[in-house]
């Protein structure tokens, strides 16, 4: 069942075409990666998907209920924006209390959700501390907790690991996988290939406001990754052999005495992006 349907979305800012005729469908319960370099149009797409921006043309349907511009429909969404959206002069608990109240929670139900959200992102022991005293990683985790306070059916995480330490990044990955296990749909935007590879069931590669490719990870690699590369190192330097069967290539050369070492480069999303756009993702 489709949780989010974007159809022929277009959005321009002056002369800049930020999103250009974008269509995609995100299924319930999947972790969907929106991958692209800075300025590809990911955040604009997220903002239109959440009703924050009105598309110039095209439609957004959420949970088969209608446009997220409708507050009732929007209540299905939880968003962790790229820019931290927290009140630094409030404690972690007060932030959750406030945003939970705005979502219509109150009393015991609110208290339970605050508790569960703090536990989920491992911040229960820092609940009474002002957010301004948190580390960058803790703020990111609280940012996600606020997105989850009202138990949304779909969570949009916009670059949730920007500027966080490896420990917090791993904690965020665990959170996302746990959300998936609970059947929550996750839309994850990033320009880190390894994150998409680790977390996402399907990935859309975006550049210049367009979807260049959309498939599961193996599907994208098969379609756009090219061949594996066997790299042989000997006295004359490196030798690169492109092949669909790297193991066969290695076995074939097992008796050659001039090979000091070898390694295999499998196609990955980085290669997919390079092949699709002609440039590196982080260019």
Partner 1 sequence: MNKIWILAKKDLRLLIRDKTGAFFTFGFPIMYALFFGMIFKNMGGGGPTTMEIIVVDQDQTQASQAFVHKLNESDSTRIVEKNLEEAVELVQKGKKPAYVLIREGYGEAAQNIFGGNPPAFEIGVDPSKRVQSMILEGVLMQHAADNFSRAFSDKDTMSKQIARSRERVTQSEDLNATERVIFSTFFAALDSFMQNAPSGNTTDGEMGGGFGSMTPAVITTKEITQQKTDTGNTFNITFPQSLVWGLMGCAATFGISLVVERVRGTLVRLRMSPISYAQILAGKGLACFICLIAVNGIMLVFGMLVFDLSPNNYPLLVLAILCSSVCFVGIMMLLSVLGKTEASAGGIGWAVLIVMAMLGGGMIPYMFLPDWIKTIASVSPVKWTVIAMEGAIFRGFTLGDMMLPCGVLLGIGVVCFALGARVFRWMES
Site residues (vs partner 1, CB under 8 A): 50-54, 71-72, 74-75, 77, 79, 81, 83-90, 94, 98-99, 101-104, 130, 146
Residue 89 or 119 having the CB closest to partner 1: 89
Cα 214 from Cα 252, distance rounded (Å) = 36
Residue 34 or 46 having the CB closest to partner 1: 46
**Minimum gap (Å) between residue 221 Cβ and partner 1:** 34
Contacts of 241 by beta carbon, 8 Å cutoff, 6+ apart: 229, 230, 231, 232, 249
**Minimum gap (Å) between residue 70 Cβ and partner 1:** 9
**Minimum gap (Å) between residue 149 Cβ and partner 1:** 10
Residue 84 or 116 having the CB closest to partner 1: 84
Residue 129 or 201 having the CB closest to partner 1: 129
**Minimum gap (Å) between residue 181 Cβ and partner 1:** 25
Residue 67 or 275 having the CB closest to partner 1: 67
**Minimum gap (Å) between residue 72 Cβ and partner 1:** 6
Residue 95 or 175 having the CB closest to partner 1: 95
**Minimum gap (Å) between residue 148 Cβ and partner 1:** 13
């Amino acid at each position: 069942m489709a949780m989010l349907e974007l159809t022929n979305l277009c959005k321009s800012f002056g002369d800049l075409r930020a999103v250009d005729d974008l269509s995609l469908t995100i299924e319930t319960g999947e972790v969907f990666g929106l991958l692209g370099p800075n300025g590809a149009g990911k955040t604009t797409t997220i903002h239109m998907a959440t009703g924050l921006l009105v598309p110039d043309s095209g439609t957004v349907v959420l949970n088969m209920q209608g446009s997220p511009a409708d507050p009732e429909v929007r209540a299905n969404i939880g968003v962790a924006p790229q820019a931290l959206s927290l009140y630094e002069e409030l404690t972690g608990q007060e932030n959750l209390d406030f945003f939970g109240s705005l979502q219509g929670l109150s009393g015991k139900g609110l208290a339970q959700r605050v508790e569960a959200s703090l536990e989920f992102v491992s911040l229960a022991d820092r609940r009474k501390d002002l957010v301004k005293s948190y580390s960058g990683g803790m703020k990111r985790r609280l940012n996600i907790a606020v997105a989850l306070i009202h138990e949304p059916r779909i969570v949009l995480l916009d670059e949730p690991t920007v500027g966080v330490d490896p420990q917090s990044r791993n904690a965020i990955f665990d959170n996302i996988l746990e959300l998936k296990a609970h059947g929550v749909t996750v839309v994850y935007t990033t320009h880190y290939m390894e994150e998409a590879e680790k977390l996402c069931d399907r990935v859309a590669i975006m550049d210049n406001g367009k979807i260049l490719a959309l498939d599961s990870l193996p599907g994208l690699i098969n379609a756009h990754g090219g061949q594996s590369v066997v790299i042989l190192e000997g006295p004359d330097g490196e030798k690169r052999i492109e092949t669909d069967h790297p193991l066969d290539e290695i076995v074939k050369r097992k008796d050659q005495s001039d090979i000091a070492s070898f390694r295999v480069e499998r196609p990955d999303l980085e290669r997919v992006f390079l092949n699709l756009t002609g440039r590196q993702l982080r260019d």
